[in-house]
Amino acid sequence: MEQIAYIFPGQGAQTIGMGKDLYDAYPEAKEVFDKANEILKFDLTKLCFEGPQEDLTNTSNSQVAILVHSIAALRILGKIAPEQFNPSFALGLSLGEYTALIASGSLTFEDGVKLVRKRGQFMQKACDKNPGKMASIIGMDPAELEKLCKGFGCEIANLNCPGQVVISGTSSSVELTTSMAKEKGAKRAILLDVAGAFHSSLMDPAKDKLEKEINEITFNPPKYPIISNVTAKPTQDPEKIKQNLITQVNTKTLLEASIKYVASQGIKTYLEIGPGIVLKGLMRRIDKSLKVMNLGTSADFASLAQPTTPPPQA
């Protein structure tokens, strides 16, 4: 059987209507969304399906919405193809690492939903306290960009794929760095539509609060290795997993290095489980030979369920 890895999306994948087709078509998805409403004590389902956009995009809501959609999709996969897809590794982009931990049995769904809701709230409060921005710099040497960041007081936030680096910091530091990056030869520098300076020291207040919450939760050894955002290495040690999640809040994420590690272990097929297709696009830039299958809509699952027709006999 072909080896695969699960990969779960991060913040930014949310859209109004997310998960509604799954909810309507699959009892497993309905059960996940209804359970999340019960845990959260508010109607997350209505927010996902109807918006408003401003509320869904708020960090305190978007993170848990993406996680719940992703787990709903995972439960459907487990129902329609229980033996077909058994991962050798799992990973996710930032918040997606929490989804990976639920998928692997390291974290219960209830604990994961509560924790990610608090994570989003803590990060939103940090954004309000320490306003900032993020920008994507395309086509510039990462080492040169890091020098610019140090000079202007911002930080590298995400190393997602070759040729693309996301920076984070105060509004003025990010604007100065993007302007200078263009002068230094960057092909493009795009300010991102995000609530604040994620994965930077401006998130220190969120990290301190999240650490207390994480240390009160039981993490089990996952059934398969989880690739950490901050180390790009696998672990099944609950204490290391907890520390990686704490460190992740105000530290850069290493998606490119993480994917390259998994690929080096012979994994060529990846299931992007949850809303959107952002990771598929990034992975094409990391390694064109990798196959990525998206599982986030009822159409995706309908395609998966269709039996392949054997070639005609000569």
Active site residues: 94, 199
Q: Which residues lie below 8 Å from residue 204, measured CB to CB, with a gap of 6+?
A: 126, 250
Please give the structure tokens belonging to residue 265. 């272990």
Residues facing 158 on adjacent strands: 166, 253
Burial 5-30 (b: 16+ CB within 10 A, else e): bbbbbbbbbbbeebbbbbbebbebbb
Is residue 217 within 8 A of residue 101, CB to CB? The reply is no
**Continuous H helices in the chain:** 20-25, 27-40, 44-50, 53-57, 59-80, 96-103, 109-129, 142-152, 171-183, 204-214, 238-248, 255-264, 278-286, 298-305
Cα(236)–Cα(283) distance, rounded to whole angstroms? 24
CA–CA separation, 262 vs 292, rounded Å? 13
130 vs 107: CA distance, rounded Å: 30
Chain mean position to CA 180: 29
